[in-house]
Amino acid sequence: MHCPMCSLPLALGTRLDTIPSALSYLPPPPAARRRAWEDRLGSHDKLRVGLVWSGNPKHTNDHNRSLPVKTLSRILDLDVRFISLQKDPKAGDSAFLRECTGIVDLTEHLTDFVETAALVSCLDLVITVDTSVAHLAAALGCATWVLLPYTPDYRWLLDRDDSPWYPTMRLFRQNERRDYGIVLDRVRSELLTLISAK
């Protein structure tokens, strides 16, 4: 018997309410790697929030899902420790990052996905566009907020702010104006609530 992986939900009769969605389905990263990241990050007196603002520029929908890092200025003044998870930033983003004091950039140590997982496991929240880091963070059971374009990939469905695959994920969608600024205003409001709770 042969069944393509993407056909398994149909073959197994999977529905939205029967999708297996454990809190996490990846093993925790090695303790030594996590400790190394805790040492790099230092004190944990503020919320630690990881950021990813763009995906692979060769992706056919990258122009819709990615945003310039300077768009994140709407949240960078908050009393939060923002940590870059962004690999290979675009040229314009690199220039902004050199001048920006609001984002800690330790990405030179992200040599593989295990290192990324170890760093993510030291964070309180990951805010990301639709990239592999969104799936990695949520698969580790980390709180993950995904910024979605108006017309998202099919897996994010429509008209909902959660994901049936990831219990710790929240979706922040563009409206018909296709403006990430409006999305980030909502993110800012939610971050202020988290800061107050901490």
How confident is the model over 149-173, as a mean pLDDT? 95
Tell me, what's the pLDDT at 107?
95
Would residue 112 count as lying in a domain? yes
CA distance 79 to 35: 24
182 touches 174 (CB < 8 A)? yes
Tokens (6 digits) for 66: 């990615």
Would residue 2 count as lying in a domain? no
Would residue 179 count as lying in a domain? yes
Would residue 4 count as lying in a domain? no
- Domain carrying residue 106: 28-197
Confidence tier at 90 by pLDDT (50, 70, 90): confident
Would residue 47 count as lying in a domain? yes
Would residue 19 count as lying in a domain? no
How confident is the model over 8-28, as a mean pLDDT? 90
How confident is the model over 118-138, as a mean pLDDT? 97
How confident is the model over 83-91, as a mean pLDDT? 93
Would residue 12 count as lying in a domain? no
Counted domains in the chain? 1
pLDDT higher for 186 or 19?
186
* Cβ partners under 8 Å of residue 164, min gap 6: 16, 17, 19, 21, 157
Residue 134, φ and ψ in degrees, nearest 5: -60, -45
pLDDT higher for 22 or 89?
89
For 20-70, the pLDDT digits (tens) are: 878 899 999 999 999 999 999 999 999 999 999 999 988 898 999 999 999
65 touches 149 (CB < 8 A)? yes
CATH code, domain carrying 152: 3.40.50.2000
DSSP-assigned letter for residue 100 = -
Would residue 7 count as lying in a domain? no
Compute CA distances 190 → 169, 172, 197, whole Å. Answer: 14, 11, 11
